[in-house]
Structure formats: structure tokens, C-alpha cells
């Protein structure tokens, strides 16, 4: 009986595997302890009493889903901040490398390069602005909410939208960086020295991938939490 109850909680929290496993262990310890302490002795009756006192698995799962959602929100905001800092560092490393290697962009690509430099610059700084807005939004609501009420939903939607905007600008910036790097590499004879810009671009692309995965997970958790709260 206890196992079936734990299965239902675990299933409802399947969108967050580490949380569902941890909750299962924790609730199992509780329920088994309650059964062992039952004055009428352990058995199916004691198990059903323990479960009845514990509460509706769907309501409990819904409350855990809000915690998971809050965690994912913070995680994504931190990741965006780190990625922005990482991209900035990678850009500076590449520029320093180009200067040290005396690499320039070939003449036919100079104009196109200028356009991508502008796109890169604006999209990067717009992602910084979106990143600042995310933290400003977080500061307005520091305490984690206990329920998915209208005000908390609005906060989550705004945070998600800001993270989506920041990620979009980051991706545009990375694409521009990729184009600029390709122009530079096109203008030189490829050798071991080209590994530095290629490596830095790989890191940027990996960062964009991580952000996309985090946003997708956030969206999944939001949908799951909303469904459980209805």
C-alpha cells in the first residue's frame, strides 16, 4: 500500500527526477516510521491510517512542484548570468588572440564583417540588459511562494519571458560571433593557431545549448506544476 502511494507521488514528480527520488526516500522513511509506531501494530490497517494522515498525493506533489519550479527559475537566471560573462570573456580572448597573431579579415568580407560586429555588439548588450532585468525581477520577490497563486504565476511568466529574451539575444550574439570567427579563419591559412578561436566558439555554442535545455526544462516544470495545481 505504501509503495503504491509512493509510486503515485513519484510519478506526479517525474518531470524532476532527482526531486522525485529524494522525495520518495524521505516519504518512505516517514510512512514506515509511522506504521512502526502505530499502537495497534504494523499491518495493512496501520499503513492505510498512515497514508490517510499523510494527505492526498496529488496535493503534496503539487506543493513539491512549486519548489522544483522555483529552483529551476533560479538555476536558469544564474546560468544566463554565467553565460553572458563567459561569452564576454571568450570574445575578449579571441580579440586578444587575433591581435597577437596579427590576423585581419580579408578585404571582400570587411563590409559584411562590419554588419555582424554591429549585430553582435547590440545583441550582446541587449542580453546584458535582459539579464539585469531578470535579477531586478527576482529582487522584487525574494521569498519562495508556497502556492501557485495568480501573483506568483505572473512573477514566473515575467521571469520566463525575460530569460527567453536574454537567451534569444545571447544566441544571436553567438551566431554573429560564429560568422565573425569564420571570416577571420577564411582569411588565414588554417593551422594549430586556429584552435583557439574554434575552441572558444565551441564553448559559446555549448553554453547556448545548455541555456536552451534549461529553458525547456523550466517550461516543462511550469506546465507540470500548473497541471498539478488545478
Binding residues vs other proteins (CB under 8 A): 22-23, 25-30, 32-34, 36, 53-57, 59-60, 63-64, 66-67, 70-71, 143-144, 146
80 vs 150: CA distance, rounded Å? 26
Contacts of 7 (CB under 8 A, 6+ apart): none
The residue (of 67 and 164) whose beta carbon lies closer to other proteins is 67
Comparison of 59 and 223: residue with beta carbon closer to other proteins = 59
Tell the smallest beta-carbon distance from residue 53 to other proteins (Å): 5
Instruction: Give the shortest CB-41-to-other proteins separation in angstroms.
Output: 17
Closest CA to 89 of 124, 133, 129: 124
Nearer to other proteins, 69 or 166 (CB): 69
Please give the C-alpha separations between residue 55 and each of 19, 21, 116, in angstroms, as whole numbers.
19, 19, 58
* Long-range Cβ contacts of 33-36 (<8 Å, 24+ apart): 35/2
Q: Which is nearer to other proteins, 53 or 140 (CB)?
A: 53
Report, in Å, the least distance between residue 142 CB and other proteins.
8
For residue 37, the minimal CB distance to other proteins (Å) is 9
Distance CA 14, CA 21 (A): 9
Closest distance to other proteins from the beta carbon of 154 (Å): 19
**Among residues 63 and 137, whose Cβ is nearest to other proteins?**
63
Gyration radius (Cα) of the chain, Å: 25
CA angle 174, 178, 183 (to 5 degrees): 150
Q: Is 132 exposed, middle or buried (0-12, 13-18, 19+ CB in 10 A)?
A: middle
Shortest gap between Cβ of 31 and other proteins (angstroms)?
Answer: 9
Cβ-based nearer residue to other proteins, 23 or 207: 23
Amino acid at each position: 500500500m505504501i509503495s503504491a502511494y509512493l509510486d503515485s507521488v513519484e510519478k506526479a514528480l517525474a518531470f524532476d527526477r532527482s526531486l522525485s527520488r529524494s522525495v520518495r526516500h524521505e516519504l518512505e522513511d516517514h510512512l514506515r516510521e509511522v506504521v512502526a509506531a502505530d499502537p495497534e501494530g504494523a499491518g495493512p490497517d496501520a499503513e492505510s491510517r498512515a497514508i490517510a494522515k499523510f494527505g492526498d498525493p496529488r496535493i503534496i506533489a503539487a506543493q513539491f512542484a512549486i519548489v522544483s519550479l522555483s529552483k529551476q527559475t533560479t538555476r536558469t537566471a544564474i546560468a544566463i548570468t554565467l553565460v553572458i560573462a563567459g561569452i564576454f570573456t571568450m570574445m575578449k580572448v579571441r580579440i586578444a588572440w587575433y591581435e597577437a597573431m596579427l590576423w585581419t579579415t580579408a578585404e571582400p568580407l570587411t563590409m559584411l564583417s562590419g554588419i555582424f560586429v554591429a549585430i553582435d555588439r547590440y545583441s550582446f548588450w541587449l542580453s546584458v540588459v535582459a539579464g539585469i532585468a531578470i535579477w531586478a525581477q527576482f529582487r522584487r520577490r525574494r521569498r519562495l511562494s508556497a502556492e501557485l497563486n495568480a501573483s506568483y504565476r505572473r512573477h514566473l511568466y515575467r521571469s520566463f519571458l525575460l530569460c527567453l529574451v536574454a537567451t534569444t539575444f545571447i544566441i544571436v550574439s553567438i551566431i554573429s560571433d560564429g560568422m565573425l570567427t569564420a571570416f577571420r579563419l577564411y582569411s588565414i591559412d588554417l593551422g594549430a593557431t586556429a584552435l583557439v578561436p574554434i575552441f572558444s566558439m565551441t564553448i559559446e555554442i555549448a553554453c547556448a545549448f545548455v541555456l536552451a535545455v534549461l529553458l525547456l526544462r523550466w517550461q516543462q516544470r511550469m506546465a507540470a506544476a500548473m497541471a498539478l495545481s488545478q
